[in-house]
A and B are shown apart, each in its own frame.
Chain A
Amino acid sequence: MSDTDPVLELVDLTKRFGRQTAVQGVSLSVGRGEVYGFLGPNGAGKSTTIRMLLRLIRPSGGQARLWGQDVAAHPGQLARVGSLVDGGTLYPFLTARQNLAVLGAVIGRRDPARADALLDQVGLGGAMDKRVKSFSTGMKQRLGVAAALLNDPELVILDEPSNGLDVSGIGEMRALIRRLARDEGRTVFLCSHLLHEVEQVCDRVAIVSKGAMVREASMADLLERQDGVRVEADPPETALSILSRRWPARRDGAALVVEARRADAPAIVAALVEGGVQVFHIAVERRSLEDAYLSITEGAGA
């Protein structure tokens, strides 16, 4: 296994519940040290996909591979994975410390010092000995993250890690995800509906809709594809005619909006000048992941 081989691969992963197909042929791969975003509307099949990967549910078809090995045949590979599913599922009658002790026993790694350090790290240092049933949603979420990191995982799977967190908590979570990947070299598979969060921390993203993958791309590529170039030129009708031959373009008031990348800006100007059009202003409009996500999922009929 080399460093360039994928940590996680999903190959044509499918799940059917009776006649209903929840996940249809999802394939993706995540490289070592990547922060990979897994996006999609509610009910798109994100959680089902994660649960198949964690052996919580059985795939109807396809494979989930970790470090090149099929998880169904080699479940021991999950010892190298930490996961936060369903907002931190924990024993409500136990304290935070006791919860980590129980999990530590299951994974064969009872290390109270590490557990305490993790609780400190996620901001629960002052609530270690409080029962989880008295925790707020955000505190449970933080404890879930500590539980996910208890086995010092190489791959961290986080399903909506910011659910229930306040603004500062969301910021801390973002910083933690960055630290896990950039400083500690872990691979992070992040499922989140907070597109701003995903945009800031992920290297690549996959977008699923109605159980199927509709786009997988690097964040830079995804955003660049969504760039628009705004042009003010005279006469605008002639400019629109020239530009429409090479790029999708439309009128937006007195200006034109061309669906092109930033790198296309010089060619746009050159085409207009060659066509005898006067160019007064040109600007690249950078769109957010949210714009990209909406156009992709709406295009997919989500």
Chain B
Amino acid sequence: MMGAIQAETLKLVRHRAIWGLVWIFPIGLTLIYLLGIVLGLGRHGALPGVAEPPGAWIANSTMVWKAAQSGPARYLIAAFAALAFGGEYGWNTWKLVVPHSRRWVLIGAKYAVVLGLLLVALVLAAVLTLVFATLVSFTGGEPVPAGITPGDLMAAHARAALATVVSTLLTVGYGSLAAILLRSTMGGAIVGIAAVTVEGVAGAVAPILNPMIFMALPTYHLHNLTAFVLTGAGTPLMLRSGIVQEGWAISLAWIGGWIALLTGATAAIFERQDLN
């Protein structure tokens, strides 16, 4: 497995699409903060910003994790998964590696590397957030409030990262299954993005949907689980049948089931697939 992970890393980090799909997170954040710093320098001499309460400042510093759970970020993640899983068909390279490894190992390595690279990018972006927030405070922007402890900061980021990992796994599952089924990067990306969109739209039209069908979708459970991870409390939902609120264990089971279904189906389909 380690060899397959190493091989997957070697190839994905050298594909130029990784800049637009993965490294975009720290790069984009850097550009936004640099712009902020420049603008801050531009209003040098103006009244200094007012410090936020420590809790709000910490919550703001985890914005990059929350951003990664947003629709556009999940589109990028779905496209990256489609590239990792569907690229081998376009490059015709399954024939190079499949004879030398068990198929489930190759698929497992792809999941590990896709998730690993995304996490590296997001951790980097989170670290940059803290660095730039501190720099901004020196350029006349919002000052860093007193009383922030490293422990509070780490705990907040760990919770936000956990919630992001869950939504990322679900998104990677959409992209991977679509890419393996369609044997195409482009097809995988389009269907993966469509799945993320449908998931979001389903949330918006939840009150008019059949409650049983809606509750079987990952939409509510992802929101509910994220709310539990971030705030310790779930989130209620208005359905046609009334207001519902599930416990974290139920939502975790549903989301875990969806992730297992998507990744398991990807591995099972690939295991039986003829590579002509």
Q: Which residues of A contact B102 (CB under 8 A)?
A: 75
Query: Main SS of the interface on chain A?
Result: loop
Given A89-B91, A90-B91, A105-B4, A58 and B272 touching (CB < 8 A)? yes
CA distance A178 to B15 in the complex (A): 37
CA distance A102 to B96 in the complex (A): 10
Q: Which listed segment binds B: A80-88, A164-172, A182-190? A: A80-88
Contact B3 A90 (CB under 8 A): no
In the assembled complex, the CB of B13 is this many whole angstroms from the nearest CB of chain A, namely 11
Closest residue of chain B to A58 (Cβ to Cβ) is B274
Q: Which residues of B contact A175 (CB under 8 A)?
A: none
In the assembled complex, the CB of A51 is this many whole angstroms from the nearest CB of chain B, namely 7
Given A51-B276, A98-B14, A106 and B97 touching (CB < 8 A)? yes
A61 at the interface (CB under 8 A from B): no
Q: How many A-B residue pairs have CB under 8 A?
A: 81
Closest residue of chain B to A131 (Cβ to Cβ) is B14
Q: Which residues of A contact B6 (CB under 8 A)?
A: 105, 110
Given A55-B99, A106-B4, A106-B100, A86 and B15 touching (CB < 8 A)? no
Q: Which residues of B contact A75 (CB under 8 A)?
A: 102
Given A57-B274, A106-B7, A151-B100, A86 and B14 touching (CB < 8 A)? no
A-side interface size class = 20 to 34
Closest residue of chain B to A15 (Cβ to Cβ) is B274
B44 at the interface (CB under 8 A from A): no
B43 at the interface (CB under 8 A from A): no
CA distance A100 to B67 in the complex (A): 38
Q: Which residues of A contact B7 (CB under 8 A)?
A: 102-103, 105-106
Q: Which residues of A contact B276 (CB under 8 A)?
A: 48, 51, 56-57
Which of B4, B94, B101 lies in contact with A56, CB distance below 8 A? B94
A79 at the interface (CB under 8 A from B): yes
In the assembled complex, the CB of B84 is this many whole angstroms from the nearest CB of chain A, namely 12
Closest residue of chain B to A52 (Cβ to Cβ) is B274
Contact B98 A108 (CB under 8 A): no
Q: Which residues of A contact B101 (CB under 8 A)?
A: 106-107
Contact A107 B95 (CB under 8 A): no
B275 at the interface (CB under 8 A from A): yes
Measuring CB to CB, which residues of chain B are less than 8 angstroms from any residue of chain A?
A: 3-4, 6-7, 10-11, 14-16, 91-102, 272, 274-276
Residue contacts A-B, CB under 8 angstroms, 27 given: A55-B98, A56-B95, A56-B98, A56-B99, A57-B275, A58-B272, A81-B99, A89-B96, A90-B96, A91-B11, A91-B91, A93-B16, A94-B11, A94-B14, A98-B14, A101-B10, A102-B10, A103-B96, A105-B4, A105-B6, A105-B7, A105-B10, A106-B4, A106-B7, A107-B101, A110-B6, A151-B100
A98-B14, A103-B97, A105-B7 known, 7 other contacts, Cβ within 8 Å: A51-B274, A89-B91, A89-B93, A90-B91, A98-B11, A105-B10, A106-B97
